[in-house]
Chains A and B, each alone.
Chain A
Amino acid sequence: NAGVTQTPKFRVLKTGQSMTLLCAQDMNHEYMYWYRQDPGMGLRLIHYSVGEGTTAKGEVPDGYNVSRLKKQNFLLGLESAAPSQTSVYFCASSYLNYEQYFGPGTRLTVT
């Protein structure tokens, strides 16, 4: 089992560009999450999904969109990147409200 994988690992964007981060899990988990990690702020929830075809806003959703067309995939989109979105992004999945399993992260820099 690969667990939770994230693509890409690194990315540099210019302000205003768009991109999509892909998260995939092979554990048949219902719940999936996108977080951003910034120094001194822990992890903050961007969006989450409790099942295929459903998404919901987390703590810091502005500037991001998500889609969960397949149970195993959860996509995070930035339509018009801003320097404030420079961060490390983590995807996680869980079976209901048990422990979350995290991917290795995507380091995004917006110049």
Chain B
Amino acid sequence: AQSVTQLGSHVSVSEGALVLLRCNYSSSVPPYLFWYVQYPNQGLQLLLKYTTGATLVKGINGFEAEFKKSETSFHLTKPSAHMSDAAEYFCAVSDDWGGKLIFGQGTELSVKP
């Protein structure tokens, strides 16, 4: 069965610092991988996705993630945090059929001025 593990339920960074949110998955087939962001009292919004091809994926708001098959990881990064990045971030995996997503537990990102 597929599963997703996000290391750290809460990450705090200073404004301008590197953001690194970790995601590891398990899947028996080549996965589709996603990062979603949820701002307070809102639904989830897609940040970026990996389906096939280039393993470094760029998303919105300056975020990017790299698919590393050997490490079964899909970590999310942003070179310089902004106050507006404060939100909850979810990593998700989908198998090759049906589009069902398995979500990680979420990581809440705080950005200090």
A contact set with B: CB distance below 8 Å? 4, 31, 33, 40-45, 48, 50, 58, 90, 92, 94, 96-105
Contacts and interface: CB of A to CB of B under 8 A. Distances in A.
Contacts of A103: 43
A40 B100 contact: no
B113 interface: no
Contacts, number: 56
B70 interface: no
Contact of B104 (A42, A45, A90, A102): A42
17 contacts: A40-B105, A42-B4, A42-B90, A42-B104, A43-B44, A45-B101, A48-B98, A90-B44, A96-B99, A97-B32, A97-B96, A97-B99, A98-B99, A100-B99, A101-B46, A102-B43, A102-B44
Given A42-B90, A43-B90, A100 B101 contact: yes
Contacts of A92: 44
Contact of A94 (B97, B99, B106): B99
B34 interface: yes
Contacts of A90: 43-44
Closest 5 CB pairs of A and B: A97-B99, A102-B43, A42-B103, A102-B44, A43-B103
Nearest to B94: A97
Contacts of A99: 34, 46, 49
A104 B46 contact: no
B61 interface: no
A10 to B, nearest CB: 11
A12 to B, nearest CB: 17
A104 B40 CA distance: 11
Given A48-B98, A94-B99, A102-B45, 18 more contacts: A31-B98, A40-B9, A42-B105, A43-B44, A43-B101, A50-B99, A90-B44, A97-B96, A97-B99, A98-B99, A99-B34, A100-B46, A100-B99, A102-B36, A102-B43, A105-B41, A105-B42, A105-B43
